[in-house]
Amino acid sequence: MRGGGLILRKSKIEWCDYTWNPITGCRHNCGYCYARRMVGRFEGDIRLNKMAREDYLLIPAADGSEDIYVLDAPMLNEAGSPLLYPFGFEPTYHRYRMDETSVPAKVKIGNNIFIGAMSDIFGDWVPHKWIDDIFSVCMKYPIHNYLFLTKNPERYVDFGVPMGQANLWYGTTVTGDGDIYRVASLLMMNAKTFVSIEPLKERIGKDNIESICGAADWIIIGAETGRNKYKVVPDADWIEDIVVVADRAGKPVFMKNSLIPIIGEDNMRRDFPEQLRYSRVSPKMEKKLYDFCARCKGREKKSDMITLLAKSRRGEQPKQFGFMCPECFMRFCVEMGLDIPRLKELEDSFTEDLDDRESIKRGNNAVKLEEI
């Protein structure tokens, strides 16, 4: 059965805003894989799904291994709900997730989008065409930052991924000294790169940490989660080793919440590279979200300013005619002898911007400025 549509939800992965999974399934067979564990809840009856041959295609895998699946529409269960993983963790191309309902198309403000949270986009079995299709969508919606993560970074180079673009980030996973060979591919790339040290399964040698920091623009650290979270619990010293070298190299470090029980909330680092800190918007959306302060002409988000409304008759609907930044609005009220409305935004703005020079005097229904 086929049908269904996209439900857009923020990601629970702390270092991104959204995930986009045009490809699901993987053949790495990692024992700690969270994605494989999740799939079982949403796959339905795989045997029956495979019997519905009219609903999917089977094509050769790029590496000559067992055939892989293509869906041009979601498969539905008997209740009419979409099956997210109808073939379990077998590699599947959900081609219907590439159109105008895709995550990059639906999210209008620039976000950090992790591509392939439920797969390895650059696994050897993935056809070249699938990867090409994904980059085509990325190029169509350049306001987003796109983050790729693979255990097969050699294919970044072999494929010839787009280089030199600040919104394309290429990462690889390192869990211990035995994975350090992967960072060599990042050194060959003229691109933004990151290393995900998750799960951290052993103390990584200092030389290898330096190799990671030399190859990556950003470092993410996390412990194993799920049923095996107590199998290998990193020591605080293992984490500190990485942070010390990263700080010396000037590389931002993002610690996942799985480290809180180990090092405590006060010692957590959630640093982002400059490029990933700020949202970008399309010109059309920018016009909707931003305007100029009527007084100082500074350009700010409309949501951060005071909306100016006017009406000439009782009962008439007020008409919006402009915006004013909080500081200008307070100064205007003082100059005109008006009480400043008790608005949290005004108190916050005053506290942040004017605390060294002015004071707030609270009355029952208003906030007044003295000596402004």
Domain map of the chain by residue range?
A: 18-276, 283-370
Token pair recorded at residue 258: 């799985």
The closest alpha carbon to 229, from 260, 252, 183, belongs to: 260
The closest alpha carbon to 191, from 146, 127, 232, belongs to: 146
Percent of the chain with pLDDT over 70: 90
CA geometry: angle 335, 341, 347, nearest 5 deg: 90
Question: How far is 228 from 187, CA to CA, in rounded Å?
Answer: 32
Strand runs labelled E in the chain:
18-20, 23-24, 57-59, 68-71, 75-76, 82-83, 92-94, 112-115, 145-150, 168-173, 192-197, 218-221, 253-255, 290-292, 299-301, 306-310, 319-324, 340-341, 359-362, 366-370
Are residues 141 and 111 in contact, defined by beta-carbon separation less than 8 angstroms? no
Count of all residues that appear for the chain in the document: 372
Helices (H), the chain: 34-39, 46-51, 103-106, 128-140, 154-159, 183-187, 206-215, 236-249, 260-263, 283-289, 326-335, 344-354
pLDDT classification of 346: cutoffs 50, 70, 90: low
Q: Is it the case that residue 352 has pLDDT exceeding 50?
A: no
Q: Is it the case that residue 1 has pLDDT exceeding 70?
A: no
The predicted structure's pLDDT at residue 31: 77
Look up the pTM and report it.
Answer: 0.77
Own/partner contacts of 272-280, CB < 8 Å, gap of 24 or more, are: 272/15, 272/218, 273/192, 273/217, 273/218, 275/145, 275/166, 275/167, 275/192, 276/112, 276/145, 276/169, 276/218, 279/109, 279/110, 279/111, 280/109, 280/110, 280/143, 280/144
- Radius of gyration for the alpha carbons in the chain, expressed in angstroms and rounded: 26
93 backbone dihedrals φ, ψ, rounded to 5°: -100, 115
The predicted structure's pLDDT at residue 364: 32
The predicted structure's pLDDT at residue 7: 59
Lowest mean pLDDT segment, chosen from 74-88, 199-213, 265-279: 74-88
CATH class of 18-276: alpha beta
Residues 6+ apart with CB under 8 A from 46: 86, 87, 88
Strand partners, 250: none
SS3 state at 128: helix
Token pair recorded at residue 279: 């949202």
SS3 state at 150: strand
Lowest mean pLDDT segment, chosen from 132-146, 183-197, 259-273, 275-289: 275-289
> Within 13 Å of residue 261, how many CA atoms lie on the same side as its CB?
9
Q: In the predicted model, what is the mean pLDDT of residues 309-318? A: 89
The predicted structure's pLDDT at residue 347: 55
